């Protein structure tokens, strides 16, 4: 990497600014906010429990005290729904309540997660969601229960998941020697142009060093396609200049989204950031996660959503016939695909680009979808780019990257 580099800091804030009643600004550590929030929830529970255990005096003369019929209720964020003003709504955990199972289990699950998170923050020892699950697998039943509760607590206390000292196991991969990652412990990760490396947790990253020769960034949905591009040293082809390729292996993890957001917020507009996803509703849903964030982590979308800086290079179902791919080579849409496509067409917050909507309509009309790997069956003159590997996928991307590098404003 050259001497002149751009240093990009990850979009993860360690401190929040708050304003006092006198107008002065103080720094509020979100981890302190998390600890205070957990302790306040526990105190609320104990206070309600004490009140519920106290007998109530009956109004009838001569009768003794009766047991209280008060319910214990805790309110936490409901990330699946938003109020009309865009704020997160809440859901209530109540006890006792009629359930198929003991109504105390949701409370036990919540308090066990809070106990582990409280310990992790106080002792400054990070823990993974997987660790939390395996500590009491019989209580949680599924990993999804832990995942939901951790994100619910973060939204409830209005902090990031990282502020709870809870991490997801990293899965995103990066390829390309135009970037270096300097960690807080002093170590440096230097990706190569032929081998992938894991994208580390955002909290461990001090700064990204980006080489001024960087010409493009490509996000790839699938690991298999990513590995193909990486092994072919696609990031250093002379036809398109030097680039970076990364993948979240399907729906991306937080570390991958933080990297994409950091690049989108700091790289000049002349460097296109592009995405290659399947030509189906799920592929567009993954693209939307990079651009607009996700419902599950909407309270952190300001740090995770890269916005319109990301451009969709393909694959587009409508272009495949021109590339020599016949309809019979495409996959049929499932009922799930069709429902998802219809749901996306009705989506209006934020509205999807016209290009996306046209492709979704085309999918529904033809009842066909396409995976990226379909390009391997393409046989057209477009796959014979001079000076480029003959493999259709590489040729396809060379043409697309060249186009987007020339006109970075294309949607």
Hunting for tokens 């309809």 — which residue is that? 327
Containing 7, the helix (H) or strand (E) segment is: strand 6-8
Active site residue 134: yes
Q: What is the 3-state secondary structure (H, E, C) of 114-138?
A: HHHHHHHHHHCCCEEHHHHHHHCHH
Token readout for 186 is 């002093």
Q: What's the rounded Cα separation, in Å, for the pair 96 and 93?
A: 9
Question: Of these residues, 16, 101, 133, 134, which one is catalytic?
Answer: 134
Q: What is the 3-state secondary structure (H, E, C) of 138-178?
A: HHHCCHHHHHHHHHHHHHHCCCCHHHHCEECCCCCEEECCC
How many of the other CB atoms lie within 10 Å of CB of 198?
15
Q: What is the CA radius of gyration of the chain?
A: 25
Token readout for 176 is 């390309």
Return phi, psi of residue 394, to 5°: -65, -40
Catalytic residues: 134
């Amino acid at each position: 990497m050259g001497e002149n580099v751009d240093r990009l800091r990850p979009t993860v804030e360690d401190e929040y600014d708050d304003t006092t009643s006198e107008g002065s600004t103080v720094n509020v550590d979100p981890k302190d906010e998390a600890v205070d929030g957990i302790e306040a929830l526990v105190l609320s529970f104990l206070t309600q429990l004490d009140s519920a255990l106290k007998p109530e005096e009956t109004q009838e003369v001569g009768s003794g005290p009766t047991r209280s019929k008060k319910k214990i209720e805790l309110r936490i964020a409901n990330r699946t729904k938003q109020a009309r003003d865009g704020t997160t709504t809440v859901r209530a955990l109540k006890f006792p309540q009629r359930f198929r199972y003991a109504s105390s289990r949701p409370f036990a699950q919540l308090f066990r997660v809070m106990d582990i998170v409280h310990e992790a923050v106080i002792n400054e020892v990070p823990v993974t969601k997987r660790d939390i699950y395996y500590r009491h697998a019989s209580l949680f039943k599924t990993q999804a229960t832990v995942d939901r509760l951790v994100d619910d607590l973060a939204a409830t206390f209005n902090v990031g998941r990282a502020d709870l000292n809870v991490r997801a196991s990293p899965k995103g991969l990066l390829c390309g020697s135009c970037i270096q990652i300097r960690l807080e412990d002093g170590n440096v990760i230097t990706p190569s142009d032929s081998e992938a490396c894991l994208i580390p947790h955002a909290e461990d990253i001090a700064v990204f060093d980006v080489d001024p020769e960087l010409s493009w960034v490509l996000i790839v949905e699938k690991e298999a396609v990513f590995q193909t591009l990486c092994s072919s040293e696609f990031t250093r082809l002379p036809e398109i200049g030097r680039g970076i390729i990364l993948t979240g292996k399907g729906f991306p993890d937080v570390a991958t989204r933080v990297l994409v957001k950091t690049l989108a917020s700091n790289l000049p507009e002349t460097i296109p950031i592009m995405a290659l996803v399947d030509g189906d509703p799920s592929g567009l849903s993954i693209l939307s996660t990079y651009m607009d964030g996700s419902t599950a982590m909407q309270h952190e979308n300001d740090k995770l959503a890269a916005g319109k800086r990301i451009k969709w290079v393909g694959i587009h179902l409508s272009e495949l016939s021109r590339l020599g791919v016949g309809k019979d080579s495409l996959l049929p849409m499932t009922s799930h695909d069709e429902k998802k496509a219809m749901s996306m067409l009705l989506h209006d917050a934020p509205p999807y680009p016209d290009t996306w909507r046209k492709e979704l309509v085309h999918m529904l009309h033809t009842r066909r979808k396409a995976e990226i790997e379909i390009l391997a069956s393409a046989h057209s003159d477009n796959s014979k780019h001079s000076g480029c590997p003959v493999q259709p996928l590489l040729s396809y991307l060379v043409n697309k990257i060249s186009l987007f590098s020339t006109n970075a404003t294309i949607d």
